[in-house]
Amino acid sequence: MSTVRLSNVSKSFGNLRVVSDVNLEISDGEFLVLLGPSGCGKSTTLRMIAGLEETSSGDILIDEKVINDDDPKDRNIAMVFQNYALYPHMSVRKNLAFGLKMRNMKTSTIAEKVNEVADMLQLSDLMERFPAQLSGGQRQRVAMGRAMVRTPKVFLFDEPLSNLDAVLRTELRSELKKLHMQLKTTSIYVTHDQVEAMTLADRIVVMKNGKIEQIGTPKEIFHNPKTLYVAKFIGNPQMNLHEMQVKKINNSIFLTASSLSIPIPKAVINRTNTSYLKDGATISMGIRPTDIFINNAGNKKGAFKAKMILTEMLGAETLIEFGIEDLNFKAIVEDDYGISSGDLFEVGMNFEKIHIFEDTT
């Protein structure tokens, strides 16, 4: 079992800096997800850990040993690729055995290990098939098996599920989770899919332009995004975000835009960096669609007059889009109470769940 540490790792291709000063510690058995849009440097980071790319500066350590100059084969890692990269000219059995064969393992040991992994992943019936004869999900399993068979110190996943259709992706996602719970191997997983990140990760690293935006558990990332970027990236539908002015009246802080005024509870201020909450400053206010509700209880306090723009039935819930003054919001509600577009109604907000960001859109 192993730990991985990245210390001031940077990578440039010519003048293009794709990863800059990444510091990261992955503890033993942890499932860490690198999350971000394409081009944010997450794959490059992973490939540097794998040894497929060289670091431009900084150190990568596995078990506190610097491995910058080790070949991939000497790092004792395994990797699952987006397109699986199964050798097309080898049967499933040979694909699984290849890594062991390259390490000059005894044939009998290889067979034993390969069969063991095949059993675990229900591949036993497919052993003599070639990758072209397998379905996407089966290929994915073989790719997993190829990584597992060597019992490496660290698993690296490079968007392994993104080539699959939605149903299969969900299925394999939970399978992956179960496997990790069973094997407890340190894993680093790259994806642009926030749902994958949320469901799989012990901790998520959100990356942007080669830099780490935020590291935290899925809960932390969701409930307490540190930057506007993270707030926008996590959550579907996206967090409602609006530019507002800070107003200090007595000891209370309000956020205002035109005639709309929102009181900020102490709890929010406590978890926000107050240095930018200066009177008159422009900030971004965010609230998740799930933290807004239709106020039909007649409770006037903290309620806003809203005009319905659109309602979309999602099944168990309804997505509503409405305007307060000239600000548009989206909310997920359990019931739209028959309000249709153009109707006026009242909404309430869970003020405790408001987020404040220094930068503006």
Residues forming the site for another protein (CB under 8 A): 47, 50-52, 54, 68-73, 77-79, 81-83, 85-89, 98-99, 102-103, 146, 150
Residue 54 or residue 112: which is nearer to another protein going by CB? 54
Q: Positive or negative CA dihedral for 176, 180, 182, 183?
A: positive
Segment (H or E) for 4: strand 4-13
Beta strands per DSSP E along 119-164: 154-158
Q: How far is the CB of 51 from another protein (least distance, A)?
A: 6
Q: How far is the CB of 83 from another protein (least distance, A)?
A: 6
Residue 48 or residue 332: which is nearer to another protein going by CB? 48
Name, in order, each residue with C-beta under 8 angstroms of 78's C-beta and a sequence gap of 6 or more: 99, 146, 147, 148, 150, 152, 154, 155, 156
User: Residue 61 pairs with which residues in a beta bridge?
Assistant: 5, 66
Residue 64 or residue 71: which is nearer to another protein going by CB? 71
Residue 49 or residue 308: which is nearer to another protein going by CB? 49
Q: How far is the CB of 47 from another protein (least distance, A)?
A: 8
SS3 143: helix
Q: How far is the CB of 128 from another protein (least distance, A)?
A: 17
Residue 147 or residue 200: which is nearer to another protein going by CB? 147
Buried b (16+ CB within 10 A) or exposed e, 84-112: bebeeeebbbbbbbbbbeeeebeeeebee
φ, ψ for residue 35 (rounded to 5)?
A: -120, 140
Residue 102 or residue 267: which is nearer to another protein going by CB? 102
Distance CA 110, CA 94 (A): 10
Q: How far is the CB of 82 from another protein (least distance, A)?
A: 8
